[in-house]
């Protein structure tokens, strides 16, 4: 498989680059499997198979790879990672991977990667999902059990499973319809009596089966349409929520910018207030110094005035 994938991806000639070839092997062979053998053994084994494909094209290798993949029970499956909630048998690990394809549901251990079990579609009696989980009511060894798993992809799992079931039902209906058209009721009268009765019962059974099949398909189609409508409504609601969230985020951004601007303005005002208080303190100091100087000048003036009066009195006495 690794040789086919290398040839489908790179074509012939990659083995000329040993490092690139080994990197390709590490890419297409899981780590747990790669650790089971020495690197040189992997290089030699995959290299010999890779060289054997030298005469084939990339498309040939891809076709052969898909042919082998389709032979596996879980080939062409869609995989989902889940957690175990309810396991009546007690054989499933806490974490596992579910694979959904036209054959049924397949269970894998994620680490180390290991195929565990498969449940065919005919053994799945009921299934459903919620926003956090998915459940299967299926037959294991002839006994019905309910398995429940935690996942946010429950709707996707149920949709994939329902799609494969609808495809199988449509194919069966087409085969039954083609068989009933190939054996019309009128041809049964040419058979002997016993044969006529047998053919009539077959045709009648086919007609009844067709009617039931059509009714079942209509129900399935109605459920599918309802699921699609619910999905469309959910997607529309999600889109609306995203739009509202974007609007709120934009509004929040504007408010944060406004708050940042107000904070800057408040900081500037606080700086101005501190500067004004400093200048006011300097003016008060200047005023106090001026008052002190004025007081000293007044005292000096009073002193000089007193001396002048004394001198004036002495002068008056001398003149007298």
Tokens 């006011």 belong to which residue?
Answer: 280
Contact by Cβ (8 Å): 139, 153: no
Report the percentage of the chain scoring pLDDT > 70.
84
Provide the token pair at 213: 């099949």
pLDDT digits (tens, 9 = 90+) for 82-136: 999 998 888 889 999 999 988 889 999 888 778 888 888 888 888 998 889 999 9
For the chain, how many residues are written? Answer: 320
**What is the distance between the alpha carbons of residues 172 and 230, in angstroms, rounded to a whole number?**
28
**What is the distance between the alpha carbons of residues 103 and 76, in angstroms, rounded to a whole number?**
10
In terms of pTM, does the model score above 0.85?
A: no
Q: Which pLDDT band, with edges at 50, 70 and 90, does 208 fall under?
A: low
Taking residues 188-210, report their average pLDDT.
Answer: 42
Which distant-in-sequence residues (6+ apart) come within 8 Å of 151 by Cβ? 80, 81, 82, 83, 132, 133, 134, 157
DSSP 161-174: HHHHHHHHHHHHHH
Dihedral angle over CA of 146, 147, 151, 155, nearest 10: -50
**What is the distance between the alpha carbons of residues 320 and 312, in angstroms, rounded to a whole number?**
12
Tell how far CA 19 is from the center of its chain: 34
Least confident of 70-79, 154-163, 284-293: 70-79
**What is the distance between the alpha carbons of residues 298 and 255, in angstroms, rounded to a whole number?**
62
> How far is the CA of 292 from the CAs of 112, 125, 284, 288, 300, in angstroms?
94, 106, 12, 6, 12
Q: Which pLDDT band, with edges at 50, 70 and 90, does 320 fall under?
A: low
Candidates 213, 105, 207; CA nearest to 164 is 105
> If you ran DSSP here, which 8-state letter would residue 233 be given?
H
SS3 7: helix
């Amino acid at each position: 498989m690794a040789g086919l994938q290398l040839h489908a991806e790179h074509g012939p000639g990659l083995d000329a680059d040993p490092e690139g070839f080994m990197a390709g092997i590490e890419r297409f062979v899981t780590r747990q499997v790669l650790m089971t053998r020495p690197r040189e053994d992997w290089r030699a084994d995959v290299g010999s198979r890779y060289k054997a494909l030298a005469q084939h094209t990339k498309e040939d290798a891809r076709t052969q790879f898909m042919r082998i993949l389709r032979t596996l029970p879980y080939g062409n499956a869609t995989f989902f990672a889940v957690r175990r909630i309810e396991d009546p048998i007690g054989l499933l690990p806490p974490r596992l991977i579910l694979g959904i394809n036209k054959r049924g549901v397949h269970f894998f251990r994620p680490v180390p990667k290991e195929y565990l079990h498969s449940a065919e579609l005919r053994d799945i009696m009921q299934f459903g999902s919620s926003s956090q989980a998915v459940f299967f009511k299926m037959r294991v060894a002839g006994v019905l059990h309910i398995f429940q798993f935690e996942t946010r992809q429950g709707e996707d799992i149920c949709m994939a499973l329902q799609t494969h079931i609808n495809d199988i039902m449509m194919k069966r209906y087409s085969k039954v319809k083609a068989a009933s058209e190939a054996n019309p009721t009128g041809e049964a009268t040419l058979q002997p009596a016993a044969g006529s009765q047998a053919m009539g019962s077959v045709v009648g059974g086919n007609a009844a089966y067709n009617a039931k099949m059509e009714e079942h398909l209509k129900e399935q189609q109605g459920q599918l349409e309802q699921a699609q409508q619910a999905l469309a409504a959910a997607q529309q609601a999600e889109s609306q929520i995203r739009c509202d969230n974007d609007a709120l985020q934009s509004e929040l951004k504007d408010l944060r910018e406004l708050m940042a601007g107000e904070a800057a303005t408040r900081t500037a005002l606080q700086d101005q207030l501190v500067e004004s208080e400093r200048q006011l303190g300097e003016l008060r100091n200047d005023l106090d110094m001026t008052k002190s100087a004025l007081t000293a000048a007044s005292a000096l003036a009073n002193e000089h005035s007193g001396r002048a009066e004394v001198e004036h009195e002495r002068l008056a006495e001398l003149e007298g």
